[in-house]
Amino acid sequence: MRRAAAVIVAAGRGVRAGGDVPKQWQLLAGRPVIAHTLDVFARHTEIAEIVLVINRNDSDRIDQLGTEGVKLVEGGEDRAGSVRNGLAAVRGSDRVLVHDVARPLVTSATISAVIAALDATPGAAPALPVTDALWTGADGQVTGTRDRTGLYRAQTPQGFHLAPIRAAHAAHPGGAADDVEVARAHGLAVAIVPGDEDNLKITLPADFARAERILRGRDGH
């Protein structure tokens, strides 16, 4: 059986999502978003260890979670710093999946697909091809169009062999959109595995309602 570590990045503030607390601590179907995300990885038979990267200001909220067996790490100054801290805490695995805590609807099948792809490549990540027409715009007006051929919408978890992605982060100057960008800047190949439309990233207030509808559908309610 393939085995990997999961680094779940949960140190951000997520201000666009609104609310009185960061989005990962807001309730989704009666439980914090972060709890749903942790559950998916904790139940997965190919995940050997979980590293949860949190903001130092959230340490008093951890008690509301069942984090037995989860290694807690303090986040960095930005997302890249938080990922580096998480990667440094991995001890028992040579493969790692980096996942955004705000994607609580990731499926076991997507996690398995990323891990399996690492048998043949240094990196792998789920993505969906862009199917909508693409425009440019300014001042509320369409100014042009763009070819969507070969464009994908990136998701997480993004998986890598541990030593190369640690080296990639150590060498990167910062400012990357995600870990795939960091990996590719270091010369690592990254394979695309099929993404999932339900694997949404909670970003705006309306995303909570959409995520809850998806959860209800999975539960048969």
Rounded to whole angstroms, how far apart are CA atoms 128 and 194?
7
pLDDT digits (tens, 9 = 90+) for 156-191: 999 999 999 999 999 999 999 999 999 999 999 999
* Per-residue pLDDT at 64: 76
What is the pLDDT confidence band of residue 1, given thresholds at 50, 70 and 90? Answer: low
147 CB-side CA count, 13 A: 2
> What pLDDT score does 15 carry?
67
Residue 68 confidence (pLDDT): 82
Taking 60 as the threshold, does the pLDDT of residue 221 lie above it? Answer: no
- The first and second tokens of residue 125, run together, are 């990540």
pTM, 2 dp: 0.95
What is the rounded average pLDDT of the residues 61-67? Answer: 80
Which of 91-95's residues contact partners 24+ apart within 8 Å by CB, and which partners?
91/49, 92/5, 92/48, 92/49, 93/3, 93/4, 93/5, 93/48, 93/49, 93/162, 94/161, 94/162, 94/163, 95/2, 95/3, 95/4, 95/5, 95/159, 95/160, 95/161, 95/162
* Percent of the chain surpassing pLDDT 70: 98
pLDDT of the residue at 185: 98
* pLDDT above 80 (res 97): yes
The torsion region of residue 31 among left (phi > 0), alpha (psi -120 to 50) and beta comes to: beta
Question: Model confidence at 152, in pLDDT bands (50, 70, 90)?
Answer: very high
Q: Taking residues 12-19, what's their average pLDDT?
A: 73
Which residues lie below 8 Å from residue 208, measured CB to CB, with a gap of 6+? 17, 26, 28, 202
Beta bridge mates, 54: 10, 74
Read off the tokens for 135.
């425009």
* Domains (range + CATH), the chain: 4-219 (3.90.550.10)
